[in-house]
Amino acid sequence: MTVKPMLILSRGEIADSDSLLRQRSEPVRTGDDISGIIQDLRDTFYDCEIALGLAAIQIGYPKRIFILNLNKSDRSGEKVFINPELIEWDEQMEAVNEVCMSIPNLVGSVYRPTKVTINYSDETGQSQSERVLGFKARVVQHEMDHLDGVLYTDRMERLSDLEEIEFFFKENYPLQATKHTPK
């Protein structure tokens, strides 16, 4: 079990283009051994109680992989998405507050489509297609943005609308987090 340090940016560093978090992740190719990355992603994800999704880049692996589980008390709801692609999205958009494990203690409202369809490979290498709705669609889009080096704050109309919250506590968030990690 390896819980990795989370890459984080402070409010003043969000626009910092030098961060690994701003890098576009590489596709996983046939034959790549990603089992170690997925294990570290899973270990770090469950160690960080408040995370509902986590992208590999957030723990330092620039690969197009993310994990999601909206009800972490039940592991059967967990899913690993490899090389996800947005195939279809609804015209209907909704603004909802988002937080990010890589931008601690901040919250901001972001418009996103309420329904999307994604294609991806699962952990066994099988191609999958899934239509996701509502809050799950939002988390999926948030995690997919990480794979392109995009943060939710980039989708806000004004960065000045970011608000500070006391949401990330030692008990539920591993603040062994790494500050600035250059590419």
Supply the residues annotated as catalytic: 143
Site size for Zn ion (CB under 5 A): 1
Tally DSSP H helices, then E strands, for the chain: 2, 8
Rounded to the nearest angstrom, the gap between the alpha carbon of residue 24 and the centroid of all alpha carbons in its chain is: 13
The residue type at 85: E
> Nearest distance from residue 147's CB to Zn ion, in Å?
11
Indicate the SS3 state at residue 164: strand
Applying CB under 5 A, which part among 10-18, 22-30, 33-41, 96-104 lies near Zn ion?
96-104
* 68 belongs to the binding site for Zn ion (CB under 5 A): no
* 177 belongs to the binding site for Zn ion (CB under 5 A): no
Q: Where are the alpha helices (DSSP H) in the chain?
A: 35-47, 134-147
The residue (of 129 and 179) whose beta carbon lies closer to Zn ion is 179
> Nearest distance from residue 103's CB to Zn ion, in Å?
7
In whole angstroms, give the CA distance from residue 100 to residue 52: 10
> Nearest distance from residue 175's CB to Zn ion, in Å?
16
> Nearest distance from residue 21's CB to Zn ion, in Å?
9
Applying CB under 5 A, which part among 34-42, 67-75, 94-102, 117-125 lies near Zn ion?
94-102
> Nearest distance from residue 58's CB to Zn ion, in Å?
7
Applying CB under 5 A, which part among 2-10, 19-27, 30-38, 97-105 lies near Zn ion?
97-105
In whole angstroms, give the CA distance from residue 16 to residue 84: 26
Side-chain-facing half-sphere of 111: CA atoms under 13 Å: 7
The residue (of 37 and 147) whose beta carbon lies closer to Zn ion is 147
The residue type at 51: A
The residue (of 38 and 107) whose beta carbon lies closer to Zn ion is 107
In whole angstroms, give the CA distance from residue 14 to residue 21: 10
One residue of 100, 106, 116, 139 binding Zn ion per CB under 5 A: 100
The residue (of 100 and 177) whose beta carbon lies closer to Zn ion is 100
The arrangement of strands across the sheet holding 115-121 comes to: 53-55, 65-68, 79-89, 115-121, 127-133
- Two tokens, residue 131: 């239509």
Q: Which residues bind Zn ion (CB under 5 A)?
A: 100
